[in-house]
Structure 1
């Protein structure tokens, strides 16, 4: 029998949430909340798909949330090869790499005990950083050292950033034990991807979207450092303390596996997300506006990969109701011929980004149950600023860039033109 303990670790003290049990002989697996946790003050469900209950959740019910904490495709394959674990054995993988997951969840084998002082950080030199990011395999191997699990297909790891040179001359530290990372460090075998994501993210922020902050770093190759919005960093008293916030993506919230993140939800994915925002968030009108902003921006920049796992709910400290998380993973995928030009879900009446016209934004408003005028107000400001802000980001107005970043930004800005004309037509109709 395999037994994994599930904890929430917002501060230094772990709170046991529940247990995953797997019976090897009959194959029965279930997740159940601890009754003590259910009865505790401030208890929240770890997922909207797993409401607080004394029932035993079947594997079909709990798997989308828990497996959704793990990497996918090549990132997962490399990790499993290094650990000599079958790729389908997601529970064993969680037990090994579940110390630093998305949100405030910690997963470990039930036999593992927490030890006092099991949180520390190791300063990294520039050469050590180059060694970490030298290859995809070396980057993934870093996750084994930190027992870190990051969802998604891209190769990445987690580190802590500091401006205190007394803590680290390079500005970067490795989390150890149960210490959490403050930044997700992303690399790519595809040329320009870190720079494209950088200019898209910086432009989004300049256009008024709530966006995760990003840095471009040169560690022998381009590395994009993304500040985690599910972490709060306290660097007072000459020490670092990283506080975890709970988060789940919409695939997890809907109980959808990562493999089905592009599948259209019953009634339409856009409608389903809007309904969940209204049902669960504290300020639905504000969060709906953020959602519409994100939809319009991803369309403009040509991001056809903005699927269910690229939208999340975030619980702030001591909050019982979530907010829509800042936007993340914003990339102009239409710049690459190898990527599909199908949107991640239906946009109005179309899915192919090139088929979308101004009438689809009227349909989008209907799907979200808001007025077209509201969509126009949001879209107008983006139409006016998106190209100039992409160029500003590439020029280095919002942080350090590479010599090549300006040309990359120009390419992305040019790629936006056809969609800019569509949105302009909608705004003036």
Structure 2
């Protein structure tokens, strides 16, 4: 029976067996059950002596891989596989997935691999990778070189590299990556620019947000996201010392709640905001609950403000540790403001298009942004155990300053990236900000 060893922070914690295609069994090792630092590979797969099987395990493993079926097939062909079965893809690419989990053939510790190295990569080579994804967003790997064994979840074209402070490198074997490159966003022209602006503004709004930059490489650009599931430990003050990169255990909320990647949106059966609050209540230590809940509520409100229509369960994650969980920084935060309606719409039609934009999580019974009143947002804050006054004051301050924040972030782009889409984002934001200010004031 095919099997893989499962590692977490360098410890062999479990065995994964494939019983049949899309049918698996996970068994935690006895030593891991007694370890004082024990933790589950997923909140949906609790630590225990009994083997775990069924749809929840299948969904968890499947969620570690790209959503795009074409990407999976290309990876399968590159690895010499007959099918894109998730177990076999994890055998080939599972040494560097999101979080700290690693998969390896039985008896082969992935962290002791003699082939695990980091090779410098030039700006010209990075630019070639960027162009490849712009031309074909299933091209997540470089066909001309060994690009490592990482697996990134999600639907958008992307790739991952490392940078420990001494330049970009291409990981091979099990060497960790540190940054995710997103050259384009499917279905949204220049979406990488809009995501950069929106993520920058979220951080300006004092929301715990992943660090992003717009990287320039030999005439090409890409959104570059610093991985919060990687931690650099200083190797010391000796000349030439390079930090050691550690993986940090985390999972997205589709995995944590046991739903499939096809159910990541609430309207397809994914978690509601109440489900998320219940999960945080159940797993975050009391002394840290307020911080995680505040980040989540701020994320919901900010998504409403900027019309972030893709804030589904796979775009929220939790850190998992021996003492419980914490919500991670926000990531994949963007805005539909530049794209709603028609480009030549006047203010009344643009106003209507904004109000009719559906968000990923509904508040009360409503998905459209225009149907989500501040009374309902106040109820969300109360359900989270937060002060409605404090949340309202924060939201009012962000809404008042939103046009200026968007304009400031947009102005930081190089002149050749001051595009019509970026200009439309800046020009339209005051319309959306006025809607939000009016809703809060009611």
Q: TM-score, normalised by structure 1?
A: 0.87
Match of 1:3 in 2: 3
1:35 aligns with 2:30: yes
Counterpart-to-counterpart distance in 2, 1:41 and 1:157: 36
User: Once the 2 structures are TM-superposed, how far is the Cα of residue 172 of structure 1 from its aligned partner?
Assistant: 1.0
The one-character-per-residue Cα deviations of 1:204-234 (angstroms, maximum 9, x if unpaired) are 1111111111111233533111000111124
User: Once the 2 structures are TM-superposed, how far is the Cα of residue 354 of structure 1 from its aligned partner?
Assistant: 4.0
1:101 aligns with 2:104: no
- Assess if the C-alpha contact under 8 Å between 1:348 and 1:363 holds in 2: no
- Assess if the C-alpha contact under 8 Å between 2:378 and 2:388 holds in 1: yes
Match of 1:246 in 2: 249
Is 417-426 or 62-71 further displaced after alignment?
A: 417-426
The one-character-per-residue Cα deviations of 1:250-294 (angstroms, maximum 9, x if unpaired) are 111100111110135989701111111122113111211111111
Counterpart-to-counterpart distance in 2, 1:86 and 1:117: 27
Q: In the comparison of the two structures, how many residue pairs are matched? A: 413
Counterpart-to-counterpart distance in 1, 2:368 and 2:318: 27
Q: Which runs of 5+ in 2 are unaligned?
A: 342-352
Instruction: Kindly report the root-mean-square deviation, in angstroms, between the aligned alpha carbons of the 2 structures.
Output: 2.8
Counterpart-to-counterpart distance in 2, 1:37 and 1:268: 30
The one-character-per-residue Cα deviations of 1:115-139 (angstroms, maximum 9, x if unpaired) are 3655421111122212222313684
Alpha carbons of 1:367 and 1:75: their partners in 2 closer, same or farther (altered >3 Å)? farther
Match of 1:231 in 2: 230
Q: TM-score, normalised by structure 2?
A: 0.85
Runs ≥4 residues deviating over 6 A: 265-268
Match of 1:167 in 2: none
Mapping 1:167-316, distance limit 5 Å: 171-188=167-184, 190-219=188-217, 220-234=219-233, 236=235, 237=238, 238=240, 239-264=242-267, 269-282=272-285, 283-315=288-320
**SS in structure 2 of the partner of residue 148 of structure 1:** coil
User: Once the 2 structures are TM-superposed, how far is the Cα of residue 88 of structure 1 from its aligned partner?
Assistant: 5.1
Match of 1:423 in 2: 436
- Assess if the C-alpha contact under 8 Å between 2:113 and 2:174 holds in 1: no
Alpha carbons of 1:28 and 1:411: their partners in 2 closer, same or farther (altered >3 Å)? closer
User: Once the 2 structures are TM-superposed, how far is the Cα of residue 363 of structure 1 from its aligned partner?
Assistant: 4.5
Match of 2:405 in 1: 389
1:404 aligns with 2:417: yes
- Assess if the C-alpha contact under 8 Å between 2:63 and 2:255 holds in 1: yes
Counterpart-to-counterpart distance in 2, 1:355 and 1:422: 11
The one-character-per-residue Cα deviations of 1:125-160 (angstroms, maximum 9, x if unpaired) are 122212222313684124973100011001111111
- Assess if the C-alpha contact under 8 Å between 1:310 and 1:328 holds in 2: yes
Is 74-83 or 152-161 further displaced after alignment?
A: 74-83
Counterpart-to-counterpart distance in 2, 1:47 and 1:418: 42
